[in-house]
Amino acid sequence: MASMVTQANTGKKKKPRPSFKPKPPQRSSSEEKDDIAPLPSDMITNNMNYSHNKSPPAAPPHPGNRKKKQTRPSVVTGPTNVKKNIHVEWDAETGTFKGLPDVWQSMVPKGSASDVKSTKNMGEHVKPSAPTPKNAETKEPEISAPFNVKHVCHVGIDPHSSTGFKGLPSQWKTLLQASGISREEVGRNPQEVLDVLQFHMEGPPPKMPSRQSLRRDVHAAVNIVSDKDPSKIFRRHKKLGEGASGVVWSAIEIATKKKCAVKITDLSDLENLKNEIAMQTLSSHPNVVQYMGAYAWQNKLWIVMELLQGGSLTEVLGRHVKW
């Protein structure tokens, strides 16, 4: 009996025990494609290059969080191997140019360059060119048309007016009415009537002096101070120019601090300069250089005049003006 039970039990196969693990929910193929995102190519490459025991490199920071690189300012170095070829400067004490090239010497007045530099051994890239007649020639001065013209008075002929003129100033009109000149006479000789009116309004022309009176005035006008040292009255500042009759300096009158020009020449030229001194003494006009005095001291003649800072007449008109 016991053997039968054993055989019966051994002949039967055991059934597998049921599993209680829940199955995952089934999804459609479209949902699976949406949930699974492809990896970037750089991450795949980084993972392939690193072994399992090394972690991949950290992701680069966001562009907004990057720090700007500080750039150093560019530094310009000083020049090297400098060679000074030409350097012209004005010496205020001596009133001359220093370092003037020899090819430019003819462009300045004689005696105004104390240190002339030779350009014989200079390179062509720095050597100054000599002035040629073509470059030195200048155009003749042209007189431009008037501008800012203000029409003050214009007299014309009007046969219908009481005087025979139109636009006649009130003073001239009164003088014409008092003269007894009729309108018919004005119509026959209008220009002559205007000349007469102008003569009476402005006065007669100045009377020319006689030769004898002119000599007397010239002799009285030449008043040269010889008992005072002019260097203690005027302080010279700088040399303005040099000519055949002397050297001209800018100066200051020590007592009044007034700027002036001093022309210093030899006392032996006094006879030739008397007419110049007399004409400047007798001329009193805003457009004429004012004469301030003359001093004779230590064989030198000092002629003091008004300082005009517009330059020399040669610089204003040019060297090649045709007279």
| 250-264 per-position pLDDT tens digit | 999 999 999 999 999
Q: What is the DSSP letter of 231?
A: G
Residue 175 located in a structural domain: yes
Last residue of a domain, one of 143, 170, 202: 202
Q: Three-state DSSP class for 304? A: strand
Amino acid 281: pLDDT: 82
Claim to verify: residue 228 and residue 312 sit in the same structural domain: yes
Asked if residue 218 has pLDDT above 80, the reply is: no
The average pLDDT across 19-37 equals 54
pLDDT in tens, 164-202: 888 888 888 888 887 778 888 888 888 888 888 888 777
Claim to verify: residue 163 and residue 236 sit in the same structural domain: no
Asked if residue 233 has pLDDT above 80, the reply is: yes
- Range in 2-6, 209-213, 299-303, 314-318 with the lowest mean pLDDT: 2-6
Helices and strands, number each (H, E), in the chain: 10, 11
Enter the tokens of residue 113. Answer: 């360059």
- The answer to whether the predicted template modeling score (pTM) of the entire model surpasses 0.85 is no
Residue 263 located in a structural domain: yes
- What's the number of domains the chain is made of? 2
Claim to verify: residue 273 and residue 302 sit in the same structural domain: yes
Residue 209 located in a structural domain: no
pLDDT in tens, 302-317: 999 999 887 767 666 6
User: Which residues form the domain of 194?
Assistant: 157-202
**CA–CA gap between residue 139 and residue 318 (Å, rounded):** 10
Last residue of a domain, one of 202, 235, 266: 202
Q: How many CA atoms lie within 13 A of 145 on its CB side?
A: 3
**CA–CA gap between residue 135 and residue 93 (Å, rounded):** 32
CATH number at residue 298: 3.30.200.20
- Non-local (6+) Cβ contacts of 185 within 8 A are 193
Report the interhelical angle of 270-282 vs 211-221 (nearest 10°): 100
Residue 237 located in a structural domain: yes
- H helix or E strand, kind and range, residue 10: helix 2-11
Between these two residues, 214 and 160, which has the higher pLDDT value? 160
Amino acid 47: pLDDT: 46
Average pLDDT, the chain: 75
Burial code of 280-317, b = ≥16 C-beta within 10 A, e = fewer?
A: bbeeeeeeeeebbbbbbbeeebbbbbebeeeeeeeeee
Claim to verify: residue 298 and residue 257 sit in the same structural domain: yes
pLDDT in tens, 76-112: 888 888 777 788 888 877 778 888 888 888 788 877 8
Report the interhelical angle of 190-202 vs 170-179 (nearest 10°): 110
Amino acid 215: pLDDT: 78
Asked if residue 43 has pLDDT above 60, the reply is: no
**265 in Cβ contact with 245 (< 8 Å):** yes
